[in-house]
């Protein structure tokens, strides 16, 4: 005997729940990896917080923009 419409809908709901669970697991894994990577980078480069890293990154960007503008003047 084949599947009824109710069986198919129940199966679809089950699959949706499984997919949502997998998405959450993937999200948590990525967050965990990012936290570990951030901790390693802070330790290696001496940043206390993410804000310190952002300031450093901004200063590099500003320096590069300044170098480009100086190069364009010549």
64 inside domain: yes
45 inside domain: yes
8 inside domain: no
pTM comes to 0.53
Total domains present in the chain: 1
61 inside domain: yes
Residue-range definition of the domain harbouring residue 31: 22-73
Average pLDDT over residues 67-73: 60
Q: How far apart are the first and last CA of the chain?
A: 82
pLDDT, residue 20, reads 98
Per-residue pLDDT reduced to its tens digit, 26-65:
999 999 998 888 888 888 888 888 788 888 889 988 777 6
36 inside domain: yes
Distance CA 53, CA 64 (A): 17
Are 34 and 40 in contact, with CB atoms under 8 Å apart?
A: no
2 inside domain: no
3-class secondary structure, 13: helix
46 inside domain: yes
- CA count, 13 A, side-chain hemisphere, 27: 6
């Amino acid at each position: 005997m084949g599947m009824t419409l109710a069986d198919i809908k129940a199966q679809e709901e089950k699959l949706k729940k499984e997919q949502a669970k997998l998405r959450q697991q993937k999200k948590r894994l990525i967050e965990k990896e990012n936290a570990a990577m951030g901790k390693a980078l802070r330790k290696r480069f001496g940043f206390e917080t993410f804000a310190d890293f952002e300031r450093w990154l901004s200063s590099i960007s500003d320096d590069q923009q300044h170098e480009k503008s100086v190069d364009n003047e010549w």
